Amino acid sequence: MKHTKIIDLLTGKALLHEVKAKGWVKTFRNNQFIALNDGSTINNIQCVVDLDKFPAELLKKIHTGAAISVRGTLIESRGAGQNVEIQVENLKVYGESNPEEYPIQPKKHSLEFLRENAHLRIRTNIFGAIMRVRSTLSYAVHKYFQDNGFFYFNAPIITGSDAEGAGEMFKVTNFNLNKLPRTEEGAVDFSEDFFGKATNLTVSGQLEAETYAMALGSVYTFGPTFRAENSNTSRHLAEFWMIEPEVAFNKLADNMDLAEDFIKYVINYTLEKCQDDLAFLEKRLQEEEKNKPQAERSEMSLLEKLRFITENNFKRVSYTEAIDILKASKPNKNKKFNYIIEEWGADLQSEHERYLVEKHFKCPVILFDYPADIKAFYMRMNEDGKTVRAMDILFPGIGEIVGGSEREERYDVLLDKIESMGIDKEELWWYLDTRKFGTAPHSGFGLGFERLVLFVTGMTNIRDVIPFPRTPQNAAF
Ligand code: 4AD
Ligand code: MG
């Protein structure tokens, strides 16, 4: 007999039928009630065991974490807490789980402890909920773009270029590191390396995506990206997933419209598909809030926050306006910011971004027209000669969630910029070609997938929304 997923058993359609379920024991109460979970839903199915029917030897093997199979009749439950339960007639234990050793006990564990057991933390309710939401969000990403005429484009992971020009790259080599070939000048001779040149893991698929947008019109990437920035924060990973749409003929305003529509869609989709998981995460957050001082408590619950995003317009504000607001702000005047905003041109830190979103506008903000000096080389120069058509989307509790721009499509202007920023133009010959042959206005953006998952799940540390986080000093598992 084939087993049925617990999510389907819980609908009760198979009532009074013989059913089989397989999963892991969450709890075994009074030597009679097994709460069984198979990952298909956050909800367990109750399996009722008649003590006299099974040898004590067998029942002794049933502990939290054990993998079992049960067969029996699906009946209406008389107990509170569930509608249906399985009256067990047959029970098989696949794998025991010694309670003396199994780290995941039926109690609340700290997130720090669970991070150290990242291979087992998925067996907790909270990580089950987070990772199902993450999976649904990824599906929604593909669905949005596929339904709107975009083509999925796979950018290379190994590349010779540094799209963001920030030099935060992991090197890729198959050299024997103890015996590096050297040039006559003593530098490492990359011509002898696997690719015949220095290569690294990509920080962004954008530059390659642009070449495809110049033929397919609308494309998007959704893949891993890597940054060797040594930021040990709750919002940075060394390996994270990024979604990067790129659209021919889109100007900056179209780019903002696309980003806003896209974010609202994926959140709405998840609100609809992940009701049980989100309800669990919301409740968890409410309990966390109770331990906080009144002043720090959030005004909205998780679901209210998500609906607020989908139902309200993002506020669009120029960098220049934002600087004026920040300069006049209380934390700036009282020197409460770690970085005081003195003048136009300053790079915004996450404390400033969060002030704008959480204190001033109280809604998501799209900041645009940043100073050219603090942004990447590929952004289109405005007529004022000092700002570029950049846009960052700032979210409450997160700060920057999206970074994007209209691209510099004019060959000469782009070449000047590359040279003035000291970027190796030989490395970018193919990118420059797109501006030589049939160049056209185009725009795109990058959304950090984990930052989106953080926001939707209400979690606060990015290490808890990716299965196996890579951060400075940490690449276990
Ligand atoms: O702003 P960024 O650096 O933009 C780009 O990479 C552009 N090439 C995107 C484009 O226009 N196609 O990164 C985009 C987003 C950020 O807004 C943030 O959400 C996320 O990627 N991000 C990170 N997420 C986790 N860990 C990190 N270290 C991140 N760095 C950036
Ligand atoms: Mg950015």
Q: How far is the CA of 174 from the centre of ligand 1 (A)?
A: 28
User: Which residues face 447 on adjacent strands?
Assistant: 243, 402
pLDDT on residue 231 = 85
Tokens of 19: 């059913």
CA–CA dist 387, 319 (Å, integer): 9
pLDDT digits (tens, 9 = 90+) for 117-152: 999 999 999 999 999 999 999 999 999 999 999 999
End-to-end CA distance of the chain: 36
- Tell me the residue ranges of DSSP E strands in 237-336: 239-248, 315-318
* pTM value > 0.85: yes
Residue nearest to atom 22 of ligand 1 (CA): 448
Pocket of ligand 1 (CB under 6 A): 163-164, 204, 206, 227, 229, 236-237, 240, 242, 244, 400-405, 444-446, 448, 450-451
Q: Which ligand neighbours the alpha carbon of 166 most closely?
A: 1
Q: Where are the alpha helices (DSSP H) in 3-55?
A: 6-9
Tokens of 86: 């399985």
Largest CA distance in the chain: 85
Q: How far is the CA of 402 from the centre of ligand 2 (A)?
A: 7
CA–CA dist 473, 55 (Å, integer): 49
Beta strand 399-406 with 387-395 is antiparallel
Segment 97-122 shows an average pLDDT of: 95
pLDDT on residue 135 = 98
pLDDT digits (tens, 9 = 90+) for 322-380: 999 999 999 999 999 999 999 999 999 999 999 999 999 999 999 999 999 999 999 99
Report CA dihedral (4, 9, 14, 15) to the nearest 10 degrees. 140
pLDDT digits (tens, 9 = 90+) for 225-242: 999 988 889 999 999 999
Query: Residues 6 or more apart from 207 whose CB is under 8 A from it?
Result: 161, 163, 378, 428, 431
